[in-house]
A = this chain, B = another copy of it.
Amino acid sequence: MISYRLEGSQGNARAGHILTRHGDVPTPAFMPVGTLASVKALSSAEVAASGARMQIMNTYHLWLRPGPERVAELGGLHEFARWPHAIATDSGGFQAFSLAERTKMTEEGFEFSSHLDGKRLKLTPEEAMRIQGLLGSDIAMQLDVCLSGTAGLPELRAAVDRTTRWAERCLAAQAPGQALFGIIQGGTNIELRLEHAETLGKLPFQGLALGGFSVGEPPAHMHASLVQIAHRLDAARPRYLMGVGTPEDLLVAIGAGIDLFDCVMPTRNARNGQAFTWQGKVTIKNARYRDDPLPLDPECTCSACRGGYSRAYLRHLFVAGEILALRLLSEHNLTLYGRLMREARAAILDNRYADFAAERLAVFRNLTDTSQPG
């Protein structure tokens, strides 16, 4: 189980703690994504060094391999991945929708073919709870119906209603000792979102998540929705915005009242050669960095920047396809995300979050990489 403790707030922004079986997670918090029980390219120690105290891992992927029974026999995800801090798992529903093949949804759940070997599988709310229980995460997510950002109202309404019925089935199948979060759907329809938030808020979830954002709609729409919705979620429980996002998104969402995030962006962008820095984005393969002796970001404390690796060296490694480039950029980006969370937290507790966010937003929005693709 988990508990949430509010430590301070400014406006809708909140600083708090999620206390789990695997330690304290100060919030706002960003969860790096350890899809297959590994944050891509990084060691557990490097992930922890970024400040992260909770990872999210992927039920769909771990179900297909190595399999939840095997993970359970090997001591659960924490022992398996040698990650001593907290772990959340998603429900697998999003991947059943987006990654698996020939997916059919009924009231019972999803039926689909594994993207690895075509094997036909069935993911019901009960099965999602059983798998996450075996994986042994601290926080499980309910199975939900996630639609694209362009879905119409009748579709959204149907998705919301089914998600509610699945919420109740998940709660009935909740594994002992494991926290369970409900997932609020409704797209960018504010009324529907608020209604669903109220419905799920009455259920005994340990936290509430916003799903179905950042699935194709313009960021400005998401930001506008968050400002209207996030602070209306039950204040006694953690509020988690799933699958989001850029540093800008995070700053806006924290201001709106969100406590918890996950996103592949810092690590995926790193593997594509894009670094986030406090001066804006750096596309490392650009020719302008060929002779650049400076570190990625002189303000940064990650091992790439502190270690004195030059942009010229990072560019060379990236262009040559060396794994070390992916490692160093991933570590750098996660370090920035971790610091953003720590600074946001400190700003909230100091009652200066609005100024802090405005300042940082200006940097992230305007000082992007001015170079042409090299």
Contacts and interface: CB of A to CB of B under 8 A. Distances in A.
Interface of A: 36-38, 40-45, 61, 65-66, 70, 73-75, 80-82, 290-291, 293, 303, 307-310, 312-313, 315-317, 319-320, 322-324, 326-327
Contact of A74 (B38, B291, B327): B291
B43 A313 contact: no
A327 B43 CA distance: 9
B316 A327 contact: no
A70 B287 CA distance: 13
Given A43-B324, A66-B290, A36 B317 contact: yes
Contact of A38 (B65, B75, B312, B322): B322
Contacts of A319: 65
Given A75-B293, A323-B326, 20 more contacts: A36-B316, A36-B320, A36-B322, A37-B313, A37-B316, A37-B317, A40-B323, A42-B324, A43-B327, A61-B320, A66-B312, A70-B290, A70-B291, A74-B291, A74-B310, A74-B312, A80-B312, A80-B316, A82-B307, A82-B309
Contact of A65 (B42, B75, B320, B323): B320
Contact of A324 (B38, B293, B322): B38
A320 B44 CA distance: 17
A87 to B, nearest CB: 14
A73 B310 CA distance: 12
24 contacts: A36-B316, A36-B317, A37-B313, A37-B317, A38-B317, A38-B324, A41-B324, A43-B324, A44-B307, A45-B307, A66-B290, A66-B312, A70-B290, A74-B291, A74-B293, A74-B310, A74-B312, A80-B313, A80-B316, A81-B313, A82-B308, A82-B313, A323-B323, A323-B326
Contacts of A293: 74-75
Contacts of A308: 82
Contact of A313 (B41, B74, B317, B320): B74
| Interface core residue of A45, A309, A319, A324 (most chain B CB under 10 Å) | A324
Contacts of A327: 43, 323, 327
A120 to B, nearest CB: 21
Contacts of A44: 307
